[in-house]
Amino acid sequence: MPHGKPAGVPCVQLTEDLRCKLFGHPSRPSCCVGLQPAADMCGASREHALVWLATLEQQTRPSNTPPARHDR
When pLDDT is cut at 50, 70 and 90, the band that residue 22 belongs to is: very high
Q: Rounded to the nearest 5°, which phi and psi values hold at 33?
A: -60, -40
**What's the chain's Rg over C-alpha atoms?**
13
SS3 labels along 8-52: CCCCCCECCCCCECCCCCCCCCHHHHCCCCCHHHHCCCHHHHHHH
Say if residues 12 and 1 touch (Cβ distance below 8 Å). yes
pTM, two decimals, is 0.58
pLDDT digits (tens, 9 = 90+) for 30-66: 888 988 889 998 999 988 988 998 888 888 877 765 5
